[in-house]
Chains A and B, each alone.
Chain A
Amino acid sequence: MAVSDICAGFRLSFPDFSLDIDTRIPARGITAIFGQSGSGKTTLLRCIAGLQQCEWGRLVVRGETWQGERIFLPTHRRPLGYVFQESSLLAHLSAEDNLQYALRRARPVPPRDLYWRVVALMGIGPLLQRYPQQLSGGERQRVAIARALLVSPQLLLMDEPLASLDAARKREILPYLERLRSEFELPILYVSHSIDEVARLADHLLVLDRGRLAASGALAEVLGRLDLPPGLGEDTGVVLEGRVVERDARWGLARVAFAGGELWLRDSGDAPGQHLRVRVLARDVSLALASHGDTSILNRLPATVAEVAPDADSALVLVRLRLEGEEGESGIVARLTRRSADHLQLVSGKKVWAQIKSAAIVK
Chain B
Amino acid sequence: MGFSDTDWTAIWLTLRLASTVTVLLLLIGTPIAWWLAKSRSRWKGPVGALVAMPLVLPPSVLGFYLLLAMGPGGPIGQLTQALGLGILSFTFWGLVIASLFYSLPFVVQPIQNAIEALGERPLEVAATLRAGPWDRFFTVVVPQARPGFISAAILGFAHTVGEFGVILMIGGNIPGETRVVSVQIYDYVEMLEYDRAHWLAGAMLLFSFAVLLGLYLFRQRRSRAGIGVGA
Contact = CB atoms under 8 A, between A and B. Distances in A.
Contacts, number: 82
Given A51-B124, A75-B124, A101-B139, A88 B229 contact: yes
B140 A90 contact: yes
Interface in A112-131: none
Interface string B192-231: 0000000000000000000000000000000000111111
B121 A88 contact: yes
Given A75-B124, A90-B122, A92-B144, A101 B230 contact: no
Contact of A76 (B121, B132, B228, B231): B132
Contacts of A81: 128
B26 to A, nearest CB: 20
Contact count band on A: 20 to 34
Interface residues of B, number: 23
A91 interface: yes
Contact of A132 (B127, B131, B139, B231): B231
A86 interface: yes
B42 interface: no
Given A91-B144, A92-B143, A101-B139, A80 B230 contact: no
**Most chain A beta carbons < 10 A, residue from B130, B139, B140:** B130
Contacts of A82: 125, 128
A89 B144 CA distance: 12
Interface string B108-134: 000000000000011011111111100
Nearest to A91: B226
Contacts of B228: 91
Nearest to A75: B127
| Interface class of chain B by DSSP | helix
A105 B122 CA distance: 16
Contacts of A76: 126-132, 135-136
Interface string B43-60: 000000000000000000
A148 interface: yes
B128 A148 contact: yes
A87 interface: yes
Contacts of B125: 82, 84, 88, 90
A105 B136 CA distance: 12
A77 B140 CA distance: 18
Contacts of B121: 84, 88
A92 B140 CA distance: 8
A133 interface: yes
B116 to A, nearest CB: 16
**Most chain B beta carbons < 10 A, residue from A82, A90, A147:** A90
Contact of B231 (A74, A84, A87): A87
A140 B230 contact: yes
A84 B144 CA distance: 19
A226 interface: no
B127 A107 contact: no
B230 A106 contact: no
A27 interface: no
Contacts of A91: 122, 144, 226-231
29 contacts: A49-B128, A51-B128, A74-B132, A75-B127, A76-B128, A76-B131, A76-B136, A80-B128, A82-B125, A82-B128, A84-B125, A87-B231, A88-B229, A90-B126, A91-B229, A91-B230, A92-B144, A92-B227, A101-B129, A101-B131, A105-B129, A105-B130, A107-B130, A132-B226, A132-B229, A133-B230, A135-B231, A148-B128, A151-B130
Given A76-B126, A91-B226, 6 more contacts: A51-B127, A74-B132, A75-B128, A90-B140, A140-B230, A151-B128
